[in-house]
Amino acid sequence: MSIEDLMGAVSTLEGALGKAFLAERVVMRGQDLHHELGKKDWLSVFMYAITGKEFTENQIRYLNFMWVATSYPDAAIWPNQVTALAATARSTPSLSLVAGLAVSEARLYGRKPDRRAMDFFYRAAKKIDEGEALEQVIEAEVAQRKVVFGYGRPLVRLDERVAHTLNVISELGLDEGRYFKLALDVHRYLKKTRGLSLNIAAISASTMADMGLSTEEYQLFLTLVFVAGMVPCYLDAKRRKEGSFFPVTCDGIAYCGPPERVW
C-alpha cells in the first residue's frame, strides 16, 4: 500500500459493511437493523452478520441446537474453569466470560480442530472432483498430516452430542448435503481400516460446509458457542466463599525442577 493510499484511509472508510447513523438508523450489510433485521431472531441476524446470507428456518433451528448442545455447565471443562476461577477471584462478569471464551481458541479442542475438520472436507471434495478416489484422499491425508480432523477412536472419543445431533440433522432434513454424506463415507472407510469413528467436530463441520460457510465464517459462528455453559460456572463460583473454587495447597504443586541452589 502506498503512502498516498494510506493517507487516503486516514480519514475515510469506504464500502463499510455497516454503520450507525446515531439517533436515526443503523445499517448492517445493506439492511436496516431495526426495521428489517429487527423482525428476525438473534441467531439469524448473527448468521447474517457473518455471511451476509439468510438461512432457512430448519438451518437456524439446527444452528440453535449446536449452541444448546455445547452449553455444558461443567467447571471441569477448561474454558469454563477459567470463568469459574475469575469468579472465585471476584473478577467482573464480563471479564470472566471473555477469558473463558478467549481460551476456547485452542489446539486440543475448540476452534483449531473445528476449522481443520471443515478444511479437510473442502480439500477432500475438491480432490474427488478432480478424479481422486475417496480412499486415496484419506490415505494421503493420513500420510501427510498423521490425522484426519474430526475422526478418533470411539472409546476415547465417546461424545453424547453425536447421537442427538445426528437425530436433529435427520429430523430437520439436513442429512442430504454433499459434505455430510462425505463425512459419513470417510467414517465408514476409517472405521473399516483403522477402527476410527466420526466425532462431533466432523458432523458439525460437514453440515456447516453444506450451508456454504468458509472456515473463518464457521469459526466466527462458533466463537460464542460455549458461553451459555460458562454462566452457571461463574454463578456457582460466585455464590461460594471467595477463593474456594478448588483451592490448591502448597503440596498440590508436584515439583520436578532442579533441587534448591544458591543464587
The set of cell numbers assigned to 80 is 469454563
Q: Does 131 bind other proteins (CB under 8 A)?
A: no
Distance CA 96, CA 99 (A): 5
Are 159 and 151 spatial neighbours (Cβ–Cβ below 8 Å)? Answer: no
- How many residues of this chain interact with other proteins, rule: CB under 8 A? 58
| Of the candidate residues 119, 172, 230, 239, the single one contacting other proteins (CB under 8 A) | 119
Distance CA 221, CA 236 (A): 27
Which residues share a beta bridge with 28? 18, 31
The DSSP 8-state label assigned to residue 258 in this structure reads P
Q: How far is the CB of 60 from other proteins (least distance, A)?
A: 22
Q: Does 257 bind other proteins (CB under 8 A)?
A: yes
| Of the candidate residues 67, 115, 168, 196, the single one contacting other proteins (CB under 8 A) | 115
| Of the candidate residues 102, 133, 147, 158, the single one contacting other proteins (CB under 8 A) | 102
Q: How far is the CB of 58 from other proteins (least distance, A)?
A: 27
The helix (H) or strand (E) run that includes residue 31 is strand 31-32
Distance CA 242, CA 240 (A): 6
Integer CA distances (angstroms), 81 to 107, 136, 158, 160, 161, in order:
17, 42, 22, 21, 21
- Count how many Cα atoms sit within 13 Å of the Cα of residue 242 in the half-sphere of its side chain: 3
Are 212 and 128 spatial neighbours (Cβ–Cβ below 8 Å)? Answer: no
Instruction: Closer to other proteins by CB, 22 or 163: give it.
Output: 22
Q: Which of residues 161-220 bind other proteins (CB under 8 A)?
A: 215-216, 219
Instruction: Closer to other proteins by CB, 174 or 237: give it.
Output: 237
Site string for other proteins, 13-32 (x = CB under 8 A): xxxx-xxx-x-xx-x-xxxx
Q: How far is the CB of 25 from other proteins (least distance, A)?
A: 6
Q: Does 8 bind other proteins (CB under 8 A)?
A: no
Q: Does 112 bind other proteins (CB under 8 A)?
A: yes
The residues of the shown chain that bind other proteins, judged by CB under 8 A, are: 1, 3, 6, 11-16, 18-20, 22, 24-25, 27, 29-32, 35-36, 91-92, 94-95, 98-99, 102, 105, 111-112, 115-116, 118-119, 145, 215-216, 219, 246-263
